[in-house]
Amino acid sequence: MEIRRFRAFTGVVSVALAGTVVLAGCSSGGDGDEVKPSASATSATTAAGGVAAATPGAKAKAYPVPAEVQPEQLPSLGTRENAHWELTLNSVRRVNDESVLVTGTLIAKTTSFFTALAEPGYAHRKDAEGGNEQAHEFSAVNLTVPGNTSTVYQVMRTEAGVCACTQGIGVVQPEDSIGVFAYLTAPKDATKVTITVRGFTPFTDVEVTS
């Protein structure tokens, strides 16, 4: 038995970060009024870009050098390989009672396409807006629970057939690394699962985190 649920989503979600600039030491009395410096302001000249430069003879403030930022290592729940790809499973995380988010990293061994990683039957569909076809997606992924391998949980899709997964990837060159994800239906009481990606040996006894 195969189980799939429908998921409503709008595609890429962007988060805008708004910054607030605080201006101190000046006041305005209305149109045409002169802006007066604060009484506590020290004598300084303004360098290009609005940065206050120290007056001759004054001591410049020394700021600490920022520590070097190291990239964070992604967790690895195992790696599988075939002739074209190396796939590392990074996480299986509980999203809600009905679904989990599977994330991984693909590294191409040869010039490759996502066609082999797409669930059959959706390779020539239209996208949500009825525009270009979205043939290349990371959707040939399923989930089973130990003790009940006859029930297969699949990638979630909208009613229009758009998968809740990585999609729209074209040609991938050798040694290119691509982060991939897929939302899968999963029973709410599943704590360990088997993740199968077409063309790879399954990942067994994978812990579902929250």
**Contact present, 166 and 86 (Cβ < 8 Å):** no
Overall pTM > 0.75: no
Going by C-alpha positions, the residue among 148, 138, 144, 151 that lies closest to residue 206 is: 144
**Amino acid identity for residue 179 in this structure:** G
Q: What is the pLDDT along the chain (210 residues), one digit of tens a residue?
A: 666 665 444 333 322 223 323 333 333 444 444 444 444 444 333 444 444 444 555 555 555 666 666 667 889 999 999 999 999 999 999 999 999 999 999 999 999 888 889 988 875 555 555 555 556 899 999 999 999 989 999 999 988 888 899 988 878 999 999 999 999 999 999 999 999 999 999 999 999 999
The residues with which 45 forms a beta bridge, in sequence order, are 53
Place of tokens 């699949």: 154
Going by C-alpha positions, the residue among 98, 110, 84, 111 that lies closest to residue 197 is: 84
SS3 101: strand
> Which pLDDT belongs to residue 145?
96
Going by C-alpha positions, the residue among 199, 167, 190, 194 that lies closest to residue 12 is: 167
The residues with which 69 forms a beta bridge, in sequence order, are none
Indicate the class that CATH gives domain 77-207.
mainly beta
The structural domains of the chain, with segments of one domain joined by +, span 77-207
Place of tokens 């195992």: 78
